[in-house]
Amino acid sequence: METMSPEPSSNLASSSELPMPADWRDFIALTKPRVMTLVVFTGLCGLLVAPVTLHPVLAFAAVLCIALGAGAAAALNQWYESDIDAKMKRTAQRPLPAGRMDRQSALHFGVGMSFFSVILLGVATNWFAAFILAISILFYVMIYTVWLKRRTAQNIVIGGAAGAFPPMIGWVAATGSLDVMPILLFALIFLWTPPHFWALSLYVRMDYANAGVPMLPVIAGEKVTRQHIAVYTLPMVAVAVLPWLLHLTGPLYGITAIATSLIFIWLAWRVLIHRPVEGDGMKPEKQLFFYSILYQFILFGVLVVDKVMQ
């Protein structure tokens, strides 16, 4: 007969082996809050530059829905990519690869929040805006995450469209229709995404290579990526200035767009001519990556200020 232990409970496995419900903070982490900041900001700016003023409560609901939709797409992205996230230093501590959350919870959270954000946006503003939000979530999850990311080095070029929808959603939430301005704002983010992500991928290239993600520097090499950054920067700058040239904005936006774009071109040029040596820290690439985020904040922020001044 087996001898009973005086403290049978103490024989339980260590806490790391026992299933624990995920902490609520891990659900927040699942929504990629830092990425969401820019998404919410551009969505809010799209709403504010629209020619129709939305009731503050409805405007708040619209921005909340854009945030929830972006968070839902991020959760579904992490649900699908937990295997490659585990292989990359930059993403290994996310809730799923770190084992702090089970995959089913992330899936339910993402799907539930997707439906909720789309329906709430439709009820609060209009169903055209809700439709574009649904398309943006589906585009990020199905086209970028599932289809393109693991298959082609052009993943970020086409996938960039997913992040370009928020200002368009903001505008449509206010007006109920599309116009030249929201299409230009869409094009601006769409063309901005490749130089932004390729600058990042240059200094985390080994991470992507280890995870088997065919980012451009992994497939075509650093030199080609630097050339691609320069080539994509030029049409992006043209689109950044276009709202002013088309008289859709005032001179404040025009001057700011030209000045900030010249800095962008200068940083892209430095990346183009940079020949990294061991241990130089890839400074030009990091500078371009962080400046590109600032560039978006400045352009969209000034767009709103310019509208208010008019």
Partner 1 sequence: MNELEYTAAVRARQLARAKVMAWTLGALVLLTFGITIAKMGG
List of residues contacting partner 1 (CB under 8 A): 7, 9-10, 12, 14-15, 18, 20-24, 55-58, 60-61, 64, 123-124
CA nearest neighbour of 289 among 90, 92, 144, 154 = 90
Pairwise CA distance, residues 215 & 196, whole Å: 13
Distance CA 106, CA 30 (A): 8
What's the farthest any 2 CA atoms get from each other in the chain? 90
Q: With respect to partner 1, which residue has the nearer C-beta, 98 or 219?
A: 98
CB of 296 to partner 1, least distance (A): 28
User: Smallest distance, Å, CB 161 to partner 1?
Assistant: 29
Quick one: 23 or 83, whose CB is closer to partner 1?
A: 23
CB of 55 to partner 1, least distance (A): 4
State which residue, 54 or 96, has the beta carbon closest to partner 1: 54
Smallest gap from residue 18 Cβ to partner 1 (A)? 6
Closer residue to partner 1 (CB): 25 or 223: 25
Which tokens hold the place of 145?
């995450």
Name residues whose C-beta falls within 8 Å of residue 174's C-beta, 6 or more positions apart in sequence: 47, 50, 52, 53, 54, 59, 62, 125
CA 172 to chain CA mean position, Å: 20
Rounded to whole angstroms, the Cα distance separating 248 from 39 reads 22
How near is the Cβ of 119 to partner 1 at its closest, in Å? Answer: 11
CA–CA dist 174, 160 (Å, integer) = 24
